[in-house]
Amino acid sequence: MKTTNKKTKVLITGAGLCGSLLGLRLAQKGYHVDILEKRSDMRKATVAGGRSINLALSDRGLAGLKLVGLEEKVRKLCIPMNGRLVHDIEGTTFASNYSGREGEYINSISREELNKLLLDEADQYEDVQIDFDDKVTSVDLKNASVTYQDSETNTEKEWKADILLGTDGAGSVVRKAMMKQRDFLFSQSMNWLPHGYKELSIPPTADGKWRIEKNFLHIWPRGGFMLIALPNLDGSFTLTLFMQYEGDGPAFNSITTDQEIKDFFNTYFKDVVEHIPDVVEQYHTNPAPPLGTVRCSPWTAYGTSLIIGDSAHAIVPFYGQGMNASFEDVVVFDQMLDQNESWADAFTAFSKKRKPDADAIADLALDNFVEMRDSVANPNFQLKRQIEMRLESAFAKAEYQSKYSLVTFPQEGVSYRDAMLKGRAQDKAILWLLENKEITTTDELDVLLSKIQEKTREVLWLRG
């Protein structure tokens, strides 16, 4: 924006990953930024859990960190994961790379370390003020003002800004204010999976090394449930067990005694449980929160308020794109600020551009749960993967990218929605061609590429 008064006071609710990156970027653009955060400063105190410990950082998220000049610093916090390492019930493993191209991998990173870095960087700007332990209790969208519980005086105070940006996550108070107003129609959905997740930990070896292969995202797919593991810098792994709360087969509500827990892990995850002597205690201690998807529209109100990141589009974690989507939000919002003459116009343009992409990655993440849990079930699925690896190794990105690559290692400008439409069509095309014996994994690459491209175009037409 050329005409905007840089003295505009921006209030951001929530100093999580999205809020701190957004605050940092707006400070770099010269705005005055205040951030209210209900939690304590994680740089000073141990922070209560309830959110995942480590995350998968990939290209869309890295673009956001690059925008604020932090890519190099963040890379030092990362452990590359080159692919999935699938563990079957016998303990046999097989690797499945994320890409057929060199240098395309995702990164395991600690949520806390990344957040601390972003807070430290934001704090270096004089025009950024971050207040912790201040819980927002009510929101006046039109006036970009909030009331909050001030932790120092233990009284309720008001904060009035010019612009209000809600980055307060899946349970967003700003979104709830949008839901309550009666001036415009606000569509919203909250969808829960029947599955919850429980985090566990594999400790490092005595000399601080990793007990299972370091550079993979490990998966123990078991049909209705699964376990995954991501590596941490200290040699530990964070495991996450995704399982239904109740029903036939293993369920959180029916695995509760010490013996049931032991039996469960010994039966389904015997190759990992040997590394977790205190698995029973961990299982008892750690919570099993639910997994939900939030969608809503519009994301903006009165030209003064916007929700961004999880507060506008919380998704399930199965594509490893939650943080990446939020960081990409910041990149797109930054562009919209540059391209529009007012905050109101930037808000509208941002919501309009970004909503279809948020819906797409929400759908993709839900799909991927099934794919991860069952990833050994369909034999043609493995053949498809082989063909895609060959194509990715041989051709440029513009000629072939798998659905996973389109989502995770996109060419510039390829949105989540583009990736979803093309990626789904490609998957169906390849599976159809295999099913009808029109291709085999050993066909010549040019033949494979042209048959797949042609069938993909037809599928896109037929699905559209």
Nearer to a second copy, 76 or 437 (CB): 437
Nearer to a second copy, 181 or 393 (CB): 181
Nearer to a second copy, 130 or 459 (CB): 459
Burial (Cβ within 10 Å: 0-12, 13-18, ≥19) of residue 50: exposed
State which H helix or E strand residue 26 sits in.
Answer: helix 17-28
DSSP at 437: T
Nearer to a second copy, 79 or 294 (CB): 294
Residues between 279 and 338 that touch a second copy (CB under 8 A)? 290, 292, 295
Residue 97 to residue 100: CA distance in whole angstroms: 7
Which residues 6+ apart lie within 8 Å of 277 measured at CB?
none
**Residue 363 C-beta: closest distance to a second copy, Å:** 14
Residue 417 to residue 360: CA distance in whole angstroms: 5
**Residue 387 C-beta: closest distance to a second copy, Å:** 18
**Residue 177 C-beta: closest distance to a second copy, Å:** 16
Strand order in the sheet with 145-150: 135-140, 145-150, 155-160
Among 30, 69, 183, 192, binds a second copy (CB under 8 A): 192
Among 190, 370, 377, 396, binds a second copy (CB under 8 A): 190
**Residue 390 C-beta: closest distance to a second copy, Å:** 23
Q: Does 125 bind a second copy (CB under 8 A)?
A: no
Q: Does 444 bind a second copy (CB under 8 A)?
A: no
Residue 279 to residue 261: CA distance in whole angstroms: 8
Among 189, 205, 253, 378, binds a second copy (CB under 8 A): 189
Per-residue interface string for the shown chain with a second copy, residues 421-440, x marking contact by CB under 8 A: -------xx--x--------
Among 7, 69, 171, 188, binds a second copy (CB under 8 A): 188
Among 3, 46, 153, 187, binds a second copy (CB under 8 A): 187
Nearer to a second copy, 188 or 259 (CB): 188
Residue type at 10 in one-letter notation:
V
End-to-end Cα distance, the chain: 37
DSSP annotation string for 201-256: EEPPPTTS--SS-TTSEEEEE-SS-EEEEEE-TTS-EEEEEEEESSSSSS-GGG--
169: number of CA atoms within 13 Å, CB side? 15
Q: Which residues bind a second copy (CB under 8 A)?
A: 185-192, 194, 290, 292, 295, 428-429, 432, 458-459, 461-463
